Amino acid sequence: MASDSASSTRRMTGIAELDDSHDAFIRMASRLSQAAATPMSADERDRLVPELLQDTISTVTQHFVAEERLMKSYGYRAQDPDGFSDHLEAHADFTAEVCRIVCAMEQFTEDSLAQLCRMLTDFSAAHSERHDLPFVRHVCASAMN
């Protein structure tokens, strides 16, 4: 479940693409959580887990690409170059960590899925507060000018 700060960011921007992308990120964490809590046969695990891991990497990267495109289109890079580059670095670090964890897992268990779910929810809460909210404030300020 998303934290309050992550939830408060999710539909704050009024930019459908960004809000939808945050929703997809949180939905992915829920899918991982549900799968982790559902007993699976070996066959089910073999079928479902690779799909979940692929979808996790895809959801994370698609969200970051969409958000970074919007940051550029809203002039965030020019207005706050340090904030922009810190934000991109945080995205890159998290993407690398998710890929590292997925690639390092030799055997996928319910615990692995739960660990990934926690990574997504913890990241979402901390990252939203530190990086996404300043961008949202920039978008809101731009809309008032």
Residues lying near Fe ion in the complex (CB under 5 A): 67, 131-132
Distance of CA 43 to the CA centre of its chain: 29
Nearest distance, CB of residue 132 and Fe ion, angstroms: 4
Burial degree of 89 (CB within 10 A; 0-12, 13-18, 19+): exposed
Nearer to Fe ion, 49 or 132 (CB): 132
Nearer to Fe ion, 24 or 105 (CB): 24
Nearest distance, CB of residue 92 and Fe ion, angstroms: 11
Backbone angles phi, psi at 53, to 5 degrees: -70, -40
Nearest distance, CB of residue 21 and Fe ion, angstroms: 7
Nearer to Fe ion, 23 or 55 (CB): 23
**Sign of CA pseudo-dihedral 60, 6, 29, 31:** negative
Return the residue nearest Fe ion (CB atom). Answer: 132
Nearer to Fe ion, 51 or 97 (CB): 97
Nearest distance, CB of residue 44 and Fe ion, angstroms: 32
